[in-house]
Amino acid sequence: MNTQDPPEDRDGFRFRGGSNAIDLPATLQARLSPAPRELLGVPEDLARWLVSAGMAAETPQVTDGDLTTARALREAIYTLAGRQGGAETEAARETLNEIAAGLPAQPRLRSDGTVTLAGSAGALLVTLAREAVQLFGSDAAKSIRQCRSPTCTLYFIDTSRQGDRRWCSMAACGNKAKAAGFRRRKRASVKPAKRK
């Protein structure tokens, strides 16, 4: 990471996990609630996400097929991050490998020492799938954790030295949990002490 990391929440999307691949599942918000919120509702949403993720320098053309692929990739990554095993995980692995087998975007080194990706939205999704393959196939996979907030389902790669990161975002879920704990303790302290 460089010293000028972009903010973790950008353009209505969350990029808290430490890799674009692990951040893709965040595009289905409140996924365990009765009313999840789809952030990739139309192709333009995916185009925006690809720009926000830093994968596309300019807004790419996105087809309905790309959108379907992105959602399939997203759910495969979410399932694999959960490491549950079983048939669902097997299906997710196959989906991921299928998408990763496509033609990826071309990385290009620019004169300023940064890299851009040249290719269609479909190619960028292949690149993203390959990033996920590399992630799940590496030691970093052991550091994938899910946010401890009971209402948050986001995954992140725990790169803390102690390996004890608990929240997808200290500024969001971490502070919310701290505030809730403070309110609980305050309530408890104003109650008359019960005799045991």
Cβ–Cβ < 8 Å for 156, 20 = no
- How many residues bind to Zn ion according to rule CB under 5 A? 6
Question: What is the closest distance, in whole angstroms, from the C-beta atom of residue 152 to Zn ion in the complex?
Answer: 3
Question: What is the closest distance, in whole angstroms, from the C-beta atom of residue 133 to Zn ion in the complex?
Answer: 25
Tokens linked to 74:
């997203």
Exposed e or buried b for every residue in 130-164, given b needs 16+ CB within 10 A? Answer: bbbbebbeeebeebbbebebeebbbbbbbeeeeee
Question: What is the closest distance, in whole angstroms, from the C-beta atom of residue 9 to Zn ion in the complex?
Answer: 11
Q: Is 69 in the site for Zn ion (CB under 5 A)?
A: no
- Using the minimum distance from each CB to Zn ion, give the nearer residue, 20 or 127: 20
Which residues in the 147-176 window bind Zn ion by CB under 5 A? Answer: 147, 149, 152, 154, 168, 173
- Using the minimum distance from each CB to Zn ion, give the nearer residue, 52 or 149: 149
Question: What is the closest distance, in whole angstroms, from the C-beta atom of residue 166 to Zn ion in the complex?
Answer: 9
- Using the minimum distance from each CB to Zn ion, give the nearer residue, 20 or 29: 29
Closest by alpha carbon to 51, among 131, 134, 126, 121? 121
- Using the minimum distance from each CB to Zn ion, give the nearer residue, 136 or 167: 167
Residues lying near Zn ion in the complex (CB under 5 A) are found at 147, 149, 152, 154, 168, 173
